[in-house]
Amino acid sequence: MTGATTTPDRAEPSFRLPLPRPFFDRDTPFDPPAALREQAAKGPVAEVTNGEGTKVWLVSGHAEARAVLSDTRFSSDLRRLVSRMDGLTDEQRDDLMSEESSAGSFISMDPPDHTRYRKLLTGQFTVRRMRMLEPRIAEIVDERIDAMLAGGTSADLVAEFALPVPSLVICELLGVPYEQRAEFQECAAKLLALDVPISEVLTLRDRLQDFMRGLVLQKRRAPGDDLISGLITNSDLNDNELVNIANLLLIAGHETTANMLGLGTFALLEHPEELAALRANPELADRAVEELLRHLSIIHAGPSRVATEDIEVGGVLIPEGSTVMISVPAANRDPGHWADPAALDVARERGPHLAFGHGVHQCLGQQLARIEMTIGLTKLLARLPGLRLAVPAEDVPLRTDMAIYGVHALPVAWDAP
DSSP state for residue 31 in the 8-state scheme = S
Nearer to ligand HEM, 148 or 299 (CB): 299
Report the SS3 class of residue 321.
Answer: coil
Q: Kindly provide the residue ranges of all beta strands, DSSP E only, lying in 135-263, ordered along the sequence.
A: 154-156
Nearer to ligand HEM, 59 or 414 (CB): 59
Size of the site for ligand HEM (CB under 6 A): 23
Q: How far is CA 227 from the centre of its chain?
A: 20
Q: Which of 168, 198, 269, 299 binds ligand HEM (CB under 6 A)?
A: 299
Q: How far is the CB of 216 from ligand HEM (least distance, A)?
A: 17
Q: Which has the closest alpha carbon to 164: 246, 262, 89, 78?
A: 262
253 binds ligand HEM (CB under 6 A): yes
Scanning 250-258, 268-276, 330-338, 377-385 for contacts with ligand HEM by CB under 6 A, the matching segment is 250-258
101 binds ligand HEM (CB under 6 A): no
Which residue is at the shortest CB distance from ligand HEM? 365
DSSP for 91-149 reads: HHHHHHHSHHHHTT-GGG--TTHHHHHHHHHHGGG-HHHHHHHHHHHHHHHHHHHHHHH
Dihedral pair phi/psi, residue 318, rounded to 5°: -95, 115
**Sign of the alpha-carbon torsion through 358, 362, 365, 368:** positive
Q: Which of residues 212-241 bind ligand HEM (CB under 6 A)?
A: none
Identify residue 407 by its one-letter amino acid code: V
Scanning 10-18, 195-203, 226-234, 247-255 for contacts with ligand HEM by CB under 6 A, the matching segment is 247-255
Count of C-beta atoms within a 10 Å radius of residue 369: 23
Q: How far is the CB of 67 from ligand HEM (least distance, A)?
A: 13
Q: How far is the CB of 121 from ligand HEM (least distance, A)?
A: 7
378 binds ligand HEM (CB under 6 A): no
DSSP state for residue 302 in the 8-state scheme = -
Scanning 37-45, 85-93, 253-261, 333-341 for contacts with ligand HEM by CB under 6 A, the matching segment is 253-261
Contacts with ligand HEM, 350-369, as mask; x by CB under 6 A? -----xxx---x-xxx--xx
Q: How far is the CB of 202 from ligand HEM (least distance, A)?
A: 21
Q: Which of 37, 118, 129, 213 binds ligand HEM (CB under 6 A)?
A: 118
- For the chain, first and last CA: distance in Å? 55
Scanning 137-145, 202-210, 216-224, 246-254 for contacts with ligand HEM by CB under 6 A, the matching segment is 246-254
Nearer to ligand HEM, 40 or 260 (CB): 260
Report the SS3 class of residue 176.
Answer: coil
Nearer to ligand HEM, 266 or 356 (CB): 356
Task: Return the ∠ at Cα 384 (arms to 27 and 387), rounded to 5°.
Answer: 30
Q: Which of 249, 311, 318, 396 binds ligand HEM (CB under 6 A)?
A: 249
Q: Which of residues 300-319 bind ligand HEM (CB under 6 A)?
A: 303
Q: What is the 3-state secondary structure (H, E, C) of 357-416?
A: CCHHHCCCCHHHHHHHHHHHHHHHHHHCCCCEECCCHHHCCECCCECECCECCCEEECCC
- The answer to whether 219 and 175 have CB atoms below 8 angstroms apart is yes
Nearer to ligand HEM, 292 or 412 (CB): 292
Nearer to ligand HEM, 45 or 65 (CB): 65
Task: Give the binding site for ligand HEM (CB under 6 A).
Answer: 76, 106-107, 118, 248-249, 252-253, 256-257, 260, 298-299, 303, 355-357, 361, 363-365, 368-369
